[in-house]
A and B are shown apart, each in its own frame.
Chain A
Amino acid sequence: MLTLTSEVDGQMAESAVLRPRRGWLHRDTKGWIFVGPFLAVFALTFLAPIGYAIYLSLFREQAFFGGNTFVGLDNYAEVVRDSKFWEAFLRVLLFLVVQVPVMLVLALLAALAIDSARLHASSFFRIVIFLPYAVPGVVAVLMWGYIYGNNFGLAADLNDLLGSTAIQPLSKSWMLPSIANIVTWEFVGYNMLIFYSALRTVPEELYEAAAIDGAGTVRTILAVKLPALRGAIVIATIFSIIGSFQLFNEPNILRTLAPNVITTYFTPNMYAYNLSFAGQQFNYSATVAIVMGVITAVIAYVVQLRGSREAL
C-alpha cells in the first residue's frame, strides 16, 4: 500500500493540475496506515461475517436437493410469525427482567461491603466472590448439574432428608430459576469487580467532605458512592442484557439432564444453533441471529441512552 502510493505520488508530481489532489491523497494515506491494521481485522472478523449472514438470510437453500433461491425478506417475515422464536425470546426476556437486577444488586452490595473499611480480610472476600467467574462456563454448569440431579447430588440428598420430593431443580417450573442461579453465581464476582474498581476512583476528598458535613455510612453511599457508580452500573447492565439474550451454554448443557424440559428452541441462540446444525437450515438460522442481534442492540442502546441521560 505504501509503495503503491509513493509511485502514484511520483507520477502525479509531474502533473501540475493534479497537485491539490495529491495533497489530499497524502494526508489521507497517513491516516489509513494507522487505522489499516485495525480495519483489516475488524472487516475480517466483524463486518464480513455479518455481511455474509445478511446475504444468507436473503436466500433459501434446500439441504437435500440443493437449489439456492433468492427469497428477499421472506425469512424475516417467517421469523416474525415464528411462535418458537417468540417463545424463546420471551423466555430470555423474563430471565433478563428477573435475573439481571438480582445479580447486579448482589454485586453492588458485595462491592460496597468490600469497599467499606469495616470488612476484615476484604481482599480474601474479593477473590472468593470473583472465583466462580474464573471457572470455565461449561465446567460450572456440569458441576451445578450434579448438584441439581434428581436422583443423586445435593437436591436428591435434601429430598431424602426432608422425606419429600419438593426440590426438583430440573423440572419444568424450576428450570429457569435454576439457570438464573448458575448465571448469578458465575457473574456476581465479575460485576462486583466492575463496581469495586469504579468505587476506587472516587477521590478521597469527597469522603472527607461528606464526613465533615456529618454524613453517616448510608448517606455517604447514597450521596457519594452511588452517583459515582452510575456509569459502571449502566455498563454492567448492558453487558448483562447482551449476556441474557445470548444465553446458550447453561441450557445447552443442562439439556442432557432434562431433555424434555429444555427444547431445541429454549433460547434464541439455541434455536439458531439447532436450526443450523440439526436442521441444516442455515439461511433461516442466520435470519434468527440477525433479528435477535438487532433487538439486543436496540434494547442495549435504549438502556445506554436512558442511563446517560439520567447521569446528566
Chain B
Amino acid sequence: MKTTHRRGLRRLVVATAAVTAASLLLAACGGSDDSGGGDQPQASPDAVNAALEKGGTITYWSWTPSAEAQVKAFEKEYPNVKVNYVNAGTGNDQYTKLQNVIKAGSGAPDVAQIEYQALPQFALPGSLVDLRQYGFDTFASAYTPSTWTAVHAGDGLFGLPQDSGPMALFYNKEVFDKYGIAIPKTWDEYVAAAKKLHAADPKKFITNDTGDAGFATSMIWQAGGKPFSTNGKAVTINLADAGTQKWTGVWNQLVTGGLVASIPGWSDEWFKALGDGTIATLAIGAWMPGVLESSVKGGTGKWRVAPLPTYDGQPATAENGGSTQSVLKQSANPALAAGFVRWLNHDGGVKPFLESGGFPSTTADLKDPAFVDKKSPYFGGQQINQVLTGAAGSVVKDWSYLPFQLYANSIFGDTVGKAYQSKSDLNPGLKAWQDALVSYGNQQGFQTNG
C-alpha cells in the first residue's frame, strides 16, 4: 500500500511536470526585464546622412506588398547598406513576435511596420526611437494632418506615415442597378438601402459585419466620437459618448434587423461574397482597391467608389487602417535605421509603394494629377482616386486610439461580439468592453476612468 502510494505520488509529480511544462512553455516565452538600448550620442540629420554613407546592415519587418521592391531600390541607391527583409506575419501575428523580442531584450528588427492604431502600444513603453532627434519633425507639411497625428504618441514622433486609409463607400454597381438602389449619401439612406436590398433578395446584404474593432472604432471616429483620451498615465474611456451613440443608433438598426451578413472579414467566404454580389457595399479604407483587384477577380468591372455616407450629408470620414515604419530602441544602428525610414516614406520609397497600388499619406502625391486622375479598369474606368483623395481631406480631427488598442481589439469579440451574436443592442456590449478596458488599464498602471 505504502509503495503504491509513493509510486503514485511520484507519478503525480511527473504528470504535473508534463502537463504544466507543455502549457507553460508559452508563458515562459515572456519574462526577463525590458532593456531598451541607449540613445546614440550624436543624433541629427547629419548623423543620418553619415550613417547612410557609411553603410551597415539592418533588419526590416513588414508585410506590405511593396516591401521587397522598396528594399531592392534602396539597396541600389545606397550600396553600402544591406537590408534583411523579413515578413514576420501580418498585423497581430507580427505584433506578437515583436512584443516577444522586445520583452526578451534582443532579436528585434531595426525597423518595423506598425499600424497607426498599434503605435501607442509600442511607443509609450519606450520600445521605439523618437525621430525628432534626427530632425524628422520638420517633415510635418509633407503628410496629411490625420496621418501626421497618428505617428505621434505623447509629444514624441515615432515613425513616418506610409499609407493612409481614409474611408469611402465601395459599392457593387451591378447589384445597385439591378435592385434600383441609389447611392446613399446619409446613413439613414444607407439603412433604407439595406432594407430594400435584403427584402428583394434575402441572400443579399448591404454589407458584412461580425463585430470588428477596427471598423467600429473608425465608425465612431467618423460620427465624431472621442471615446479614448490619454494624458500621460491618465486614460479616459467613454464608449457611450454622443458620437458613439450616433453610430450605434444607425448600426443597431442593421444588426438587430439581421441586415448585415455574418461573414467575418478577410475569410475565404468574404472574398467569395465580394465577388458574387452577396455583399453589396463596404465602408472601408482607401487601400481597398488593391485588395479587390488582387483577391476578388470576380468583381472586375462591378465595383465603384463613392464618398462615405454621413449623418448630415456633409462630407466627413475617418481613417481605417494604415501603417507607419518605426525604428526600434533595440537597434544597434538607429541613425541608419532612421535613414531607411526617411527614404521609405519621405524619399525614393514612395514611388515603388504607389506602383504596388498603395494609397499614400504624402500630400504631394495626393495632389499629383497623374495619381488623382488615373482611371481604374477594375472600377469600370472610374477615377476612383478623385473620391479617395477627397476623403483624405475630410477626415474628422482629434481622434486618438488607446495606448493598449491591440489588447482592446483582441477582446472586442468577447464583449461587443456577444451583441452581434445575439443580434441585439450594441450599447451594452460597448459598456462591457469599456469595463474590461478600464480594469485592464488600471492593472497596467494607468489611471483609467470609465
Q: Which of A50, A64, A272, A273 contacts B444 (CB 8 A)?
A: A64
| B421 contacts A261, C-beta separation under 8 Å | yes
Mark each residue of chain B from 405 to 442: 1 if its CB lies under 8 Å from any CB of chain A, else 0: 01100110110011011000000000000000000100
**Contact, CB under 8 Å: B19 / A65:** no
Write the residues of chain A forming the contact surface with B, with a CB cutoff of 8 angstroms: 45-47, 49-50, 52-53, 56, 62-68, 149-152, 172, 242, 245-246, 256-265, 269, 272-274, 276-282, 285-286, 289-290, 292-294, 296-298, 300-301, 304-305, 308
A286-B24 contact in complex given A256-B264, A263-B413, A304-B8, C-beta closer than 8 Å: yes
CB within 8 Å of A: which B13-61 residues: 15-31, 33-34
Sample 12 A-B pairs with CB under 8 A, ordered by A number. Answer: A49-B20, A50-B20, A56-B30, A62-B443, A65-B233, A269-B23, A272-B26, A273-B26, A278-B96, A281-B443, A285-B30, A297-B16
Most chain A CB within 10 A, of B16, B29, B211, B406, is at: B16
A265-B414, A282-B31 as given contacts; A289 in contact with B24, CB under 8 Å: yes
Decide if B11 touches A277 in the complex (CB within 8 Å): no
B20 touches A290 (CB 8 A): yes
Residue in contact with B29 in the complex, picked from A62, A276, A279, A304, CB distance below 8 Å: A276
A57 to chain B, nearest CB (A): 9
Q: Is the CB of B211 within 8 A of A257?
A: no
Contact B28 A49 (CB under 8 A): yes
A160 to B14, CA, bound (A): 52
A292 to chain B, nearest CB (A): 6
Residue of B nearest to A55 (CB): B31
B272 engages A56 (CB within 8 Å): no
Question: Main SS of chain B's interface residues?
Answer: helix
Nearest-neighbor residue (CB-CB) of B422 within chain A: A172
Query: Smallest CB-CB separation from B440: which chain A residue?
Result: A279
- Residue of chain A at shortest CB distance from B34: A66
Query: When chains A and B are docked, how far (Å) is the Cα of A143 from the Cα of B110?
Result: 38
Query: Are B421 and A276 in touch, CB under 8 angstroms?
Result: no
Most buried by A among B23, B407, B445: B23
Q: A246-B23, A261-B421 are in contact. Are A276 and B30 (CB under 8 A)?
A: yes
Q: Which residue of B lies closest to A290 (CB)?
A: B20
* The 5 nearest A-B residue pairs measured at CB: A293-B20, A260-B417, A282-B30, A278-B410, A297-B16
Q: Closest B residue to A152 by CB, please name it.
A: B269
Bound-state CA distance A234–B406 (Å) is 44
Q: Does B23 contact A293, Cβ atoms closer than 8 Å?
A: yes
Q: Which of A276, A282, A289, A300 contacts B15 (CB 8 A)?
A: A300
Pairwise interchain contact B403-A297, C-beta atoms closer than 8 A: no
Residues of B within 8 A of A (CB): 4, 8, 11-12, 15-31, 33-34, 92, 96, 99-100, 103, 124-125, 210-211, 233, 261-264, 267, 269, 272-273, 278, 403-404, 406-407, 410-411, 413-414, 417-418, 420-421, 440, 443-446
Q: Do residues B125 and A49 form an inter-chain contact, with CB atoms below 8 A?
A: no
Q: What are the residues of chain A within 8 A of B420 when measuring CB–CB?
A: 260
Neighbouring A residues of B20 by C-beta, 8 Å: 49-50, 53, 289-290, 293-294, 297
Q: Is the CB of B11 within 8 A of A52?
A: no
- Knowing A151-B278, A261-B421, A296-B19, say if A53 contacts B24 (CB, 8 Å): yes
Closest partner residue, chain B, to A266 (CB atom): B414
A52-B28, A273-B26, A285-B26 known, 18 other contacts, Cβ within 8 Å: A49-B20, A53-B27, A64-B444, A66-B125, A150-B262, A242-B19, A256-B264, A261-B421, A263-B413, A272-B27, A278-B411, A285-B30, A289-B27, A290-B20, A296-B19, A297-B12, A300-B19, A301-B12
Judging by beta carbons under 8 Å apart, are A292 and B23 in contact? yes
A281 partner residues in chain B, CB cutoff 8 A = 443
Nearest CB of chain A from residue B44's CB, rounded to whole Å: 29
Across the interface, do B413 and A260 meet the contact criterion of CB distance under 8 Å?
A: yes
Checking A46, A56, A151 against B273 with a beta-carbon cut-off of 8 angstroms, the contacting residue is: A151
Residues A301 and B18 in contact, CB atoms below 8 Å apart:
no
- Minimum Cβ distance to chain A for residue B406 (Å): 7
